[in-house]
Amino acid sequence: MYETERLTQELYKNEIDIRNIVVNQVLYEEGNCNMCKSRIKMQKKYLDQIRDLFDDFHITIIPLQEQEVRGFNDLTNFSKMLLAPPQYKY
């Protein structure tokens, strides 16, 4: 999150306009995994901070994928999520 803040400030200083931020690899499904529950709780805190800090930006949240995004089909599916992100409640 802080890297994103520094990057947006650097881009702004260099007169590069950005309006979108993509948050990638977000867990949504809790299940019975204690580590997953802990990670979701931590991510929720950061997502709340991101929404507050970057309230003027369009924020797209992409869930953690089961595998690396590689190849044409994976990239096509990922790009569809960028245009129409899955709707999850956090």
**Sequence-distant (≥ 6) Cβ neighbours of residue 39 within 8 angstroms:** 27
pTM of the prediction? 0.79
Q: What is the pLDDT of residues 18-73, one digit of tens each?
A: 999 999 999 887 678 888 889 999 999 999 999 999 999 999 999 999 899 999 99
Domain range summary for the chain, segments of one domain joined by +: 20-83
What tokens appear for 41 in the block? Answer: 């709780």
| Ranges of H-type helices in 1-90 | 2-13, 34-53, 71-83
pLDDT of residue 71: 95
Mean pLDDT of 81-89: 82
